[in-house]
Amino acid sequence: MRPTLRSARPLVITALLLTFVLPASLTFGAQAEKPRNGGELVFAVGGTPPSFDGHRETTFAMLHPLAPHYSTLLRFDPQAYPKIVGDVAEDKWTVSRDGLTYTFKIRKGIKFHDSSDLTSKDVKATYDKIIFPPEGVASARQASYGVVKSIEAPDPYTVVFQLKQISASFIANLASPWNFIYKADILAKDPRWYEKNVMGSGPFVFGEHVPGSYWTGRRNPNYFMKDRPYLDTFKAIFIRDTAPRVAAVRSGQALIEFRGFNPAAQEDIVKTLGKEAVVQESPWICNLTVTINSEKKPFNDPRVRRALTLAIDRWNASKALSKISLMKYVGGVFRPGSQFATPESELVKLAGFGKNIEASRKEARALLKAAGVPDGFSFTLKNRNVKEPYEVTGIYTIDQWRQIGLNVNHVMQEEGPYFNDLRQGNYDAAIDFACDFMDEPDLQLQKYLSAKKSPLNYGRYNDEVLDDLYDRQSRLTDKAERLKILRQFEKRVLDEQAYQFHILWWQRIVPHWSKVQGWKVTPSHYVNQDLRDVYLKLN
Amino acid sequence: MTRYIVQRLLLMIPTLFGVAALVFLLLRVLPGDIVELKYAGSGTFAPRQAIEREKAQLGLDKPLWRQFVDWIGGIARLDFGISMWTGRPITYEVAIRLELSLELAVMATLVAVLISVPLGTLAALKQDTWLDYAVRIFSIAGLAIPSFWLGIIMILVFIIFFHWLPPLTFTSFRVSPKANLQQLIWPALAVGYRYSAVATRMTRSAVLEVLREDYIRTARAKGLWEKVVLTRHALKNALLPVITVLGLEFAFLVGGLVVTEQVFNLNGIGKLFVEAISQRDYTMVQSLVLLTSFVFIFVNFLVDLVNAWLDPRIRYQ
Q: Cβ–Cβ of A415/B41 closer than 8 Å? A: yes
DSSP output for A84-134 = EEESSEEEEEEE-TTS-EEEEEEPTT-B-TTSPBP-HHHHHHHHHHHHSPP
A58 touches chain B (CB under 8 A): yes
Smallest Cα distance from A87 to chain B, Å: 24
Q: How does DSSP classify residue B89?
A: B
From residue A204, give the alpha-carbon distance in Å to each of A69, A222, A225, A305. Answer: 5, 10, 12, 51
Residue of B nearest to A58 (CA): B42
φ, ψ for residue A215 (rounded to 5)? -140, 135
**Chain B neighbours among A 138-177 (CB < 8 Å)?**
138-144
Find the helix or strand (DSSP H, E) in which A257 lies: strand A256-257
Nearest to A51 among B87, B267, B275 (CB): B87
Q: Tell me, what's the pLDDT at A38?
A: 95
Q: Cβ–Cβ of A241/B262 closer than 8 Å? A: yes
pLDDT in tens, A217-244: 999 999 999 999 999 999 999 998 899 9
Q: Tell me, what's the pLDDT at A24?
A: 41
Residue of A nearest to B32 (CA): A416
Helices B269-278 and B282-310: crossing angle, nearest 10°?
Answer: 150
Q: Tell me, what's the pLDDT at B316?
A: 63
Q: Tell me, what's the pLDDT at A538?
A: 77
Mean pLDDT over A308-328 rounds to 96
% of residues, chain A, pLDDT over 70? 94
**Total residue count of chain A as it appears in this document:** 539
Neighbour tally for B158: CB within 10 Å: 17
Query: Can you say how many angstroms the Cα of residue A99 is from the centroid of all Cα atoms in its chain?
Result: 27
For chain A, report the end-to-end CA distance as a whole number of angstroms. 47
Q: How does DSSP classify residue A327?
A: E
**Region for A522 from its dihedrals, namely left if φ exceeds 0, alpha if ψ lies in -120 to 50, beta otherwise:** beta
Question: Could you give the ipTM of this predicted complex?
Answer: 0.83
pLDDT in tens, A29-74: 444 478 999 999 999 999 889 889 999 888 899 999 999 999 999 9
Q: Are A405 and A376 in contact (CB under 8 A)?
A: yes
Mutation to test the B interface, candidates A285, A440, A456, A457, most B Cβ within 10 Å = A456
For chain B, report the end-to-end CA distance as a whole number of angstroms. 6
pLDDT in tens, B142-172: 999 999 999 999 999 998 888 889 999 999 9
pLDDT in tens, B287-298: 999 999 998 899
Smallest Cα distance from B2 to chain A, Å: 41
Nearest to B265 among A211, A244, A447 (CB): A244
Q: Tell me, what's the pLDDT at B237?
A: 85
Please say whether the dihedral angle defined by the alpha carbons of residues B81, B87, B89 and B94, taken in this order, is positive or negative.
Answer: negative
pLDDT in tens, A331-350: 999 999 999 999 999 999 99
Q: Cβ–Cβ of B168/A244 closer than 8 Å? A: yes
Smallest Cα distance from B101 to chain A, Å: 13
Beta-bridged to residue A158, according to DSSP, are A105, A155
pLDDT in tens, A175-219: 999 999 999 999 999 999 999 999 999 999 999 999 999 999 999
Q: Cβ–Cβ of B31/A212 closer than 8 Å? A: no
Quick one: pLDDT band at residue B45, thresholds 50, 70, 90?
Answer: low
What is the rounded CA–CA span in Å between residue B268 and residue B288? Answer: 12
Q: Which residues of B89-119 are buried (b: 16+ CB within 10 A; e: fewer)?
A: ebeebbebbbbbbbbbbebbbebbbebbbeb
Neighbour tally for A56: CB within 10 Å: 26
**Region for A99 from its dihedrals, namely left if φ exceeds 0, alpha if ψ lies in -120 to 50, beta otherwise:** left
A421 touches chain B (CB under 8 A): yes
**Chain B neighbours among A 169-228 (CB < 8 Å)?**
195-196, 210-214
A101 half-sphere exposure, CB direction, 13 A CA radius: 9
**Total residue count of chain B as it appears in this document:** 317
Count CB pairs under 8 A between chains A and B. 154
A48 touches chain B (CB under 8 A): yes
pTM above 0.90, yes or no: no
Nearest to A277 by CA among A306, A236, A298, A246: A246
pLDDT in tens, A400-423: 999 999 999 999 998 888 888 888
What is the rounded CA–CA span in Å between residue B158 and residue B153? Answer: 9
Smallest Cα distance from A446 to chain B, Å: 7
> Which of B83 and A7 is assigned the larger pLDDT?
B83
Smallest Cα distance from A300 to chain B, Å: 24
Neighbour tally for A535: CB within 10 Å: 22
Neighbour tally for A337: CB within 10 Å: 13
Quick one: pLDDT band at residue B41, thresholds 50, 70, 90?
Answer: low
Nearest to A454 among B45, B93, B267 (CB): B45
Chain A residues near residue B99 by CB distance under 8 angstroms: none
Burial, A306: exposed, middle or buried (Cβ in 10 Å; 0-12, 13-18, 19+)?
A: buried
Smallest Cα distance from A141 to chain B, Å: 7
**Chain B neighbours among A 326-365 (CB < 8 Å)?**
none
Quick one: pLDDT band at residue B43, thresholds 50, 70, 90?
Answer: low
Query: Can you say how many angstroms the Cα of residue A192 is from the centroid of all Cα atoms in its chain?
Result: 27
Chain A residues near residue B92 by CB distance under 8 angstroms: 211
φ, ψ for residue A133 (rounded to 5)? -60, 140
Please say whether the dihedral angle defined by the alpha carbons of residues A415, A421, A425 and A427, taken in this order, is positive or negative.
Answer: negative
pLDDT in tens, A137-163: 878 888 889 899 999 999 999 999 999
Mean pLDDT, chain A, integer: 91
pLDDT reading at B110 higher than 90:
yes
pLDDT reading at A27 higher than 50:
no
